[in-house]
Chains A and B, each alone.
Chain A
């Protein structure tokens, strides 16, 4: 087998699949094994990016693009901001105890064995359809979100069994996103210093020392309870 014959024998779809699958799985395991939270965020970005490559290879190019734009470009940037906002020195790497690691390894091995057994159990899933050419899926997806299906119905299906569109789920998701963004902005808002009302100002003028002492006491109790 010379070099050219070797090149011709390689199925490049399979080669790229193996490349992206190895990257995705390897970096996912890296997320688990890393202790440093900044490294975990980096590995997660790389793992999700490689998964977008897998989506492209499966013929779902619109999903792959959305994975890159929303997940890698949006959600993970949010996570990285969270990491940066909380990355004080003691919290960058919080160690897990060895007993927990061993338990987690056992659980992971059994869960993986179960899932792999399920994946290999159906024979029809192991036979790829050769010679199929994937159709572009962006237009059918967009039309389906508008409520009209332009993709081919199931072969030989009568018109009564035509698949329905996704206008209602699309609307529900959009309202859900709006509610979630308002809620997130409400939860994460900066604590505004409350302007004292006139009666409180008068009270603090009457007993400034007592009020300040009580405030300091409760604050130190809070800190003590928090740091333990």
Chain B
């Protein structure tokens, strides 16, 4: 049985997946995936609230990068980390995202009251 566990776990260790340490690159990959998902969500969704969710994902992906570069122990020896600056910027991004969500939701609800729909393809009143 030990052999069986060993056989399936050893490749994982050989890849450095479980016994290696986490570096900034790991966080950058996560941030890239969140950012891409948010961009696609903003571009594809036809529900106005889906577009808002895409914006939240994009901001969150940027936040992941800020926090990773601010972290003192994800960086190499000689690298200068952002330090507290990155964390403060991440905090401001969270606060401004809350403000943006409040205004965008108010606009969406207003649109829904006037047009009885949340499909953004129907928001073409300004088309010439």
- Residues in A lying within 8 Å of B, measured CB to CB: 1-3, 6, 9-11, 13-15, 17-18, 21, 24-25, 28-29, 31-32, 37, 40-41, 44, 47-48, 51, 54-55, 57-60, 62-63, 66-67, 70-71, 74-76, 78-79, 81-83, 85-86, 90-91, 94-96, 100-101, 104-105, 107-108, 111-112, 115-116, 118-120, 124-130, 132-135, 137, 140-141, 144-145, 149, 151, 154, 163, 166, 169, 173, 176-177, 180-181, 183-185, 187-188, 191, 223, 226-228
Contacts and interface: CB of A to CB of B under 8 A. Distances in A.
B36 A115 contact: yes
Contact of B56 (A32, A44, A104, A181): A44
Contact of A6 (B5, B30, B72, B106): B5
Interface of B: 2, 5-6, 9-10, 13, 17-41, 43-47, 49-50, 52-54, 56-57, 60, 63-64, 67-68, 70-80, 83-85, 87-88, 90-92, 94-103, 105-110, 112-119, 122
Contact of A120 (B2, B25, B114, B116): B25
A133 B73 contact: yes
B67 A58 contact: yes
A184 B103 contact: yes
A96 B46 contact: yes
